[in-house]
Amino acid sequence: MSATHSFSSLLPDVILDAVESTGLWSDSRIYPLNSYENRVYQIGIEDGTPVIAKFYRPERWNEAQIREEHQTLAKLEEAGVPVVAPLTFNGETLFRHNEMFFCLSPRLVGQHPEADNLDQLYQIGELIGQLHQNLSTTPFEKRINVSPLSQMDEAANLILSGHTLFGQTELANDLQLPEKLKATYKKQIQILRDKCEASIKRYWPSQLRPIHGDSHRSNLMLHNGQFHLLDFDDCQNGVAVQDLWLHITQTENPRQQLSEIIEGYEAYLPFENRELDLVDVFKCVRVINYAAWLQSRWHDPAFTKAFAWFGSEDYWLNHLNELKNCELEWGQISR
């Protein structure tokens, strides 16, 4: 299947055929859920509870990497960590239909965390500590290892090239970073890269650990009084603070939030305070990667519809302003 049209064949009949190939019988109700990298649907089941069908974006993860994700979730669920593991049918969790990998998971109903709720931040810290404790003995063998400088370079180069990820297709000129802003962009990226490199030289863990990799609020669900971690699509070998810093939402005085998260985390594992100096590194990488992600996926019609504001001159000026703020706010967390 051409990566340019990764999900173009994913029509309702195809979705239902895929689900029913596992032995379930659908009642033909399909509800798209909020996902762009992959395609995720709630599927009604005859005389049963709806399931969640996730179709993986082709050419992103290979089969071994997806299976490692599933095996990890099964082990975590067995250990009592509140996660949502794929359903098993005849001993299998990963299936292929029309050359596309997919899995089915139970539906979880609940609410996402409140951004400034300190009690919930403590609970989130506990959950991530429990996760890291259970993952500590089983590092990923197939998944990526975090590499901030390489990721920053790759994302910045993609933006400067004006290309999408697959096939090196060039964006329309009116969507690319304007030529008149490229010198400013390169200068700002270099400033941030130098700061990131200096922070990494001061401290980088001797060994990476398995982490969730994208534990923002939308990937957490409060269900029956307990937070559950969702969507391990970005699980990787990384740094503990990667799974914590995304829950710091205050920019004026983040210390109180940070204290609650770390206190909860340390109910399970000690936290290495030197990792706080890496928060700015991961923040920079995330800001740059987000713009590069939108650009790299612009061949996908779902992106052009959902992110119609991408690519205007105002967009790129705002992106530059975000990068400048990364510089100005540097060290606020670790002070």
CA distances (Å), origin 231, targets 66, 192, 223, 301 = 12, 30, 15, 23
Phi, psi dihedrals of residue 108, rounded to the nearest 5°: -115, 130
Residue 26 tokens, joined: 């659908």
Given the residues 17, 153, 214, 234, select the one marked as catalytic. 214
246 contacts: CB under 8 Å, gap ≥ 6: 215, 216, 217
- Beta partners for 39? 55
* R_g of the chain, CA atoms, integer Å: 21
Residue 132 tokens, joined: 């890291």
Specify whether 231 is catalytic.
Answer: yes
Closest CA to 4 of 297, 221, 210, 324: 297
Given the residues 13, 27, 119, 231, select the one marked as catalytic. 231
| Amino acid occupying residue 235 | C
Reduce the DSSP state of residue 57 to 3 states and report it.
coil
Phi, psi dihedrals of residue 111, rounded to the nearest 5°: -125, 150
Place of tokens 């000129």: 173
CA distances (Å), origin 257, targets 117, 228, 253 = 9, 20, 8
> Catalytic residue positions?
214, 231
